[in-house]
């Protein structure tokens, strides 16, 4: 007796990517339109994964170019633009045979996908370092210099010293490791993309915590950036202790 289409659908939903060819083979002769639609869906999933594998391989071009150096570390930061909170830097050394898919500029990923990838990166990376520069430091030395501080801290927290750094567009002063600045590196290097994701998720989680302390500013949704609701709250309630004084002078007197 043939399986119900609902049962076959559940089977497809439970199948991982490696099981899809077998699924297709098992039901190829079933001419029910509902089953053929499920087979077509499985084939599309396989095609999408193959396309993603090709995209990911293209994003390994810098890692392949510099693989003779040894440990390659991607560096990126998140939070240069917000009115409140720290800037956070990530440093990630991925394994040479890294098979993580969907790595990309963190801004191009959904929050759910970033969270999923964060867990995978933290599990599979050779080493991860995270650095912070507070709002006070940003006001004291300016955002660019504070970003460098956060990046140097992220590098220092790696349990393995990298042999070369792939940076998103910048060259970090006072670092004795060879650096390769790459324009839009978070979209063209898996290592920098991984660092971007780690930094983004770390900072977003921190701003969620601040949202509980200062709910009027809606940090959970705007993450400290200058959204209209944030600026309105700033004008109504004044700055919080985590606001960057040098960033809010156009909105309030500090």
Residues 6+ apart with CB under 8 A from 241: none
Q: How far apart are CA 158 and CA 92, in angstroms?
A: 8
Q: What's the whole-number average pLDDT of the chain? A: 95
Q: Which domains does the chain have, with CATH numbers?
A: 5-58 (no CATH), 70-208 (3.30.420.10)
Per residue in 103-133, pLDDT (tens digit) is 999 999 999 999 999 999 999 999 999 999 9
Per residue in 234-244, pLDDT (tens digit) is 999 999 999 99
Per residue in 41-74, pLDDT (tens digit) is 999 999 999 999 999 999 999 999 999 999 999 9
Q: Tell me how far apart the 2 most distant CA atoms of the chain are, in Å.
A: 77
Q: How far apart are CA 220 and CA 218, in angstroms?
A: 5
pLDDT at 1: 67
Own/partner pairs, 10-19, CB within 8 angstroms, 24+ separation: 12/38, 12/41, 12/42, 15/42, 17/45, 17/46, 17/49
Res. 150 pLDDT band, cuts 50 70 90:
very high
Per residue in 19-44, pLDDT (tens digit) is 999 999 999 989 899 999 999 999 99
Q: State mean pLDDT over 144-162.
A: 98
């Amino acid at each position: 007796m043939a399986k119900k289409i609902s049962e076959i659908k559940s089977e497809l939903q439970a199948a991982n990517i490696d099981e899809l060819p077998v699924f297709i083979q098992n039901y190829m002769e079933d001419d029910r339109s509902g089953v053929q639609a499920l087979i077509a869906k499985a084939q599309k999933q396989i095609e999408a994964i193959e396309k993603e594998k090709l995209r990911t391989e293209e994003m390994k071009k810098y890692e392949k170019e510099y693989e003779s150096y040894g440990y390659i570390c991607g560096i990126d930061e998140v939070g240069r633009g917000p009115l409140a909170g720290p800037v956070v830097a990530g440093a990630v050394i991925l394994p040479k045979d890294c098979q993580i898919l969907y790595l990309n500029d963190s801004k191009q990923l959904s929050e759910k996908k970033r969270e999923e990838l964060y867990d995978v990166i933290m599990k599979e990376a050779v080493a991860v370092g995270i650095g912070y520069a507070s709002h006070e430091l940003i006001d004291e030395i300016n955002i660019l210099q504070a970003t460098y501080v956060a990046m140097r801290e992220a590098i220092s927290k790696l349990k393995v010293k990298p042999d070369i750094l792939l940076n998103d567009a910048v060259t970090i002063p006072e670092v004795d490791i060879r650096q390769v600045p790459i324009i839009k590196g978070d979209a063209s290097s898996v290592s920098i993309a991984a660092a971007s994701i780690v930094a983004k998720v770390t900072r977003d989680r921190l701003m969620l915590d601040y949202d509980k302390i200062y709910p009027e500013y809606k940090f959970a949704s705007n993450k400290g950036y200058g959204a209209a609701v944030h600026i309105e709250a700033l004008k109504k309630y004044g700055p919080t202790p985590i606001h960057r004084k040098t960033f809010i002078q156009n909105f309030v007197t500090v």
